Structure 1
């Protein structure tokens, strides 16, 4: 029986004495491999031109003038080829002479002592053919590469002049792209997240376990300290999540018109208290400053982070300058940054006279969890949060530093394009207790969150109706059930919370909606997500904030 295989994978067999050739071919056929028996060395060499996966040759056949033909063929193989050869030797080990000459010349010779076991032969042939296939793959890649190089050379000849004119700009864009890709690499966050979250979870779980043990024993003393420990650890975890969302540009921003000078002055006392007495704080505020567009809470957090970093860079004292200015960025500046548009920007600059950073540190300053501070004195998320906040706000951030001379960080935020908004007078806080059978529809897919929200509202006297998803909530909205407020998670399975609110307003045009979210990409900028009568709070939230929002929206 002859097995049909590609010529490039067949075994050429030459073993003229006895039945070695027939036995070898039969074993290979039974294993699913094909082969051809050559009568002599000359026939084998002629078959080589048609293709072969390996040679199976008895050592006694390597004689005569045809041997030089075989050696010449092997010596002049293409660079990708290294034809495998299995030499059948006699008992006692491989002979000297032609076999050793082949081994020295090619380096891809395997010896098989006769009599051989069929499994040994099949194993050697299988290994040789796998190597041969890899050679063919390398050949194909070389052919593809050669063709690609040919096309590339043709293109380069056509575009040579244009490439010379744009080389400098392309290098700048390449560096900006590399930095952007590096900052977007979420994989590098894993170690830092695991380390910090494990510490915080230890504080949360440990405090709860101690509470359980003390309550089980009837001990009611010093429970407040355990509760404070758990809440502190949970708030630290919430802060870490907030910074991660800020870095990834997925936090929920409440962008509005911001008088940056007013914001900086309002933080003056806090900033001064955060500094050492040996550090002089100098505020240089432009009196003609434009109105910026940003989330004021995030801007305050960014400024505080920058001031704290500057403080840590001046352990022996120095000068800290907080400055505001207007700046117009042209297309030459913004061309290297994909999300930055030419236009007018309000700039917040924080400069210190501290130790400065070498280029190797400055290039990684915005990387998440990168910090030069000792363990326990910084998470390495402060600057990465500012980076994400600036990009999500349509702005930019730069850092310049010099060893022993200091560091300057500039935060660019877009100029507000709308009309100046008047200050809103805050009404006195109202009692959160429910009145007149007020009812809230709670739509949340996480059972724990749903139970906690329901329990808090129930304690305050609110009636409530629950649903785990939008499919369960729509029939309630399309009923006669009284609903004063819809509280819905944004990230529901299936139909999301925003789509549910749209359907709810078809049934109840005046429906008020409070969204709660831990992460919602499309809700990242609230101005484009919320309509009138809608508000949003982010997880984790305090129940004081939740009840205040419920009362505010129902009474509005």
Structure 2
């Protein structure tokens, strides 16, 4: 049994490593000039739901923040992971503060901060008044698998994911923390000096929350699944999540209440999304289905994996895109 436990642990480590590499490096991203303040503003409604009523969320946008170039969904991922991390560090009531500012980094600063290069940056900081960390813990937090949470409560991938995204966008991150004094993450994104006409600003839309509908989420990449689950819960849905078709089918055997909607990845190791959805429909004939994939809908259609006219969501997606797709599918 000890050998089995070791083998299972090794398999789990290999799986998480594969997921992290896939998530950080091979994700389909669409970098574009952004106003960081606008992207954060659109995310606040979701973040408030994510952290709960006992914690105040304070938003302090810097004036005339410079543009940056990155995928807006990656900003969402950074904020969701940092706010969940801050929430978990706060016992009872507390405060999380999100700030932006323009900063110019010089040689002396960069010598003191490995990974930094001189230049113009937009700084995004997320601070909490939670438990804080000692220096030993703070030095390890960006390592994959490292977590201070109880067994089964965290994958240890949240902050490693943040680190991967920041590095992918030529930025760097510093953490400042003391036990009992809270924690501040400072992320530096290079100023985008290319053509800023037009910076595509999406007007803040009223995200229509769910009405407590029950959703089955099936996604084999745990980092993507965790983020999707957070988004869905923050939008007011009840979520049952599974790491693959076989796990989901086992869960559904025990399910007696109605499941209104299935969100499933298209390409999964055990079974493709179309065949899996057919199995679920046999159990719940009225269930609505949304397929999601990092591949474009054209590629998926060309490969014959999905038929025409299906509900499709391109990964990675923003909370606005998810909310909009859910309401339109559930309404029909």
TM-score, normalised via structure 1 length? 0.35
Match of 2:78 in 1: 302
Flag structure 1 segments of 5+ consecutive residues without an equivalent: 1-189, 199-236, 426-446, 456-488, 491-512, 517-541, 547-556
Mapping for residues 295-444 of structure 1, pairs under 5 Å: 295-335=71-111, 340-420=116-196, 421-423=198-200
- The residue that corresponds to 1:245 in the other structure is 22
Report what 1:544 is aligned to.
312
Q: 1:244 to 1:374 in 2, by over 3 A?
A: farther
Cα 1:422–1:193 change in 2 (3 A) is: farther
Displacement of 1:448 in angstroms is 9.3
Distance 1:454 1:323, change over 3 A: closer
Q: How far did residue 316 of structure 1 move? A: 1.6
CA shift for structure 1 position 252: 3.9
Distance 1:338 1:350, change over 3 A: closer
Quick one: distance in 2 between partners of 1:305 and 1:371? 13
Alignment of structure 1 residues 194-213 onto 2, 5 Å: 194-195=11-12
Could you say which structure has the higher helix fraction?
1
Q: Distance in 2 between matches of 1:191 and 1:412?
A: 38
Aligned to 2:317: none
The aligned length equals 217
Deviations 1:412-465 (A, max 9, x none): 11111112225389xxxxxxxxxxxxxxxxxxxxx999x96999xxxxxxxxxx
Q: Secondary structure at the residue paired with 2:161? A: helix
Query: Does the CA-based 8 Å contact 2:129-2:182 persist in structure 1?
Result: yes
Q: Pairwise mapping of residues 115-134 of structure 1 onto structure 2 (< 5 A)?
A: none
Change (3 A) 1:401 1:424: closer
Q: Are the equivalent residues in 1 in contact too, given 2:62–2:100 (CA < 8 A)?
A: yes
Say if 1:258 and 1:293, in contact at 8 Å, map to a contact too. yes
Q: CA deviation at 1:365?
A: 0.5
Q: Where does 1:497-536 land on structure 2 (aligned, <5 Å)?
A: none
* Secondary structure of 1:325 counterpart: strand
Looking at structure 2, the residues matched to 301 and 378 of structure 1 have their Cα atoms a distance apart, in angstroms, of 16
Unaligned residue ranges in structure 2 (runs of 5+): 1-6, 203-266, 276-293, 301-309, 315-332
Looking at structure 2, the residues matched to 276 and 399 of structure 1 have their Cα atoms a distance apart, in angstroms, of 24
CA distance in 2 between counterparts of 1:354 and 1:452 reads 43
Matched-pair contact (CA < 8 Å) for 1:322–1:349: yes
- What secondary structure, in the 3-state scheme, does the structure 1 residue paired with 2:84 have? helix
Q: What aligned pairs does 1:115-264 form with structure 2 within 5 A after superposition?
A: 194-195=11-12, 243-247=20-24, 249-264=25-40
Matched residue SS, 1:379: coil
Deviation, 1:322, is 0.6
Question: For 1:294 and 1:411, how far apart are their aligned partners in 2?
Answer: 14
> Contact conserved, 1:345 with 1:412, CA < 8 A, in 2?
yes
TM-score calculated relative to the size of structure 2: 0.56
> Quick one: structure 1 residues 320 and 424, their matched pair in 2 at CA, closer, same or farther if it must change by over 3 Å?
closer
How far apart in 1 are the matches of 2:10 and 2:113?
Answer: 28
Residue by residue over 1:496-552, the C-alpha shift from the partner in whole angstroms, topping out at 9 and shown as x without a partner, is xxxxxxxxxxxxxxxxx9678xxxxxxxxxxxxxxxxxxxxxxxxx97247xxxxxx
**Structure with greater proportional strand content:** 2
Q: Is the 8 A contact 2:38 2:201 kept in 1?
A: no
Rate the CA distance shift 1:197–1:345 in 2: closer, same or farther, 3 A: same
- Structure 1 position 345, deviation (Å): 0.8
Contact 1:294/1:413, CA 8 A, preserved across alignment: no
| Cα offset, 1:279, TM superposition | 1.2
Offset of 1:376 from its aligned partner?
Answer: 1.8
Match of 2:229 in 1: none
Instruction: Give how far 1:385 is off.
Output: 0.7
C-alpha spacing 1:263/1:195, structure 2 compared with 1 (3 Å): same
The structure that has the greater radius of gyration is 1
The 3-state SS of whatever aligns with 2:143 is coil
- The 2-side partners of 1:261 and 1:303 are apart by 12
Query: Is this contact kept in 1: 2:34–2:199, CA < 8 A?
Result: no
- The structure with higher relative contact order (CA 8 Å, sep 6+) is 2
Question: What residue number does 2:61 align with?
Answer: 285
- CA 370–423 in structure 1, closer or farther in 2 if over 3 Å, else same: same
